Amino acid sequence: MERTFAMIKPDATERGLAGKIISRIEEEGFNIVGMRLVRMTKAEAEGFYAVHKERPFFGDLTSFMSSGKTVVLALERDNAIKHWRDVMGATNPADADEGTLRKEFAESIERNSTHGSDAPDTAAFELGYWFPGVALNAG
């Protein structure tokens, strides 16, 4: 069993889509081992996205992520990181496959409804950021 981090972003929560996305998470065989509703401060968003600090979109990203409620989740299943990425679809919803969350719910590349860890080291950081003490691998 592997664990990954998932997020339902402010654009999805403000449109009342959290329940639909959580249902899909469960339908895909994930166990939810942690879930919180948060309203990120700008500082929390900057810390979470610090890897992108030098990128031109950093300010807009952190402003957006601190603009509303976000659901943060710790998910568990076999091959969790890759499977969650597949369920979400491409970052740009125009490139996302039919049936993916981003194809169905995203409004744009910036307002793309969900986030997920892209690798084990990212998952370890992101899980630790919102769920201190949650291990990457179930055990």
At residue 49, the 3 state secondary structure works out as coil
Query: Looking at 71, 74, 115, 127, which residue is catalytic?
Result: 115
Distances from the Cα of 124 to the Cα of 1, 46, 84, 89, 121, angstroms: 14, 18, 15, 21, 5
Tokens of 124: 């370890």
Q: Give the separation between CA 27 and CA 30, rounded to whole angstroms.
A: 7
67 torsion bin: left (phi>0), alpha (psi -120 to 50), beta (else): alpha
* C-alpha atoms less than 13 angstroms from C-alpha of 21 in its C-beta half-sphere: 33
Q: Residue 115 catalytic?
A: yes
Which residues are known to be catalytic?
Answer: 115
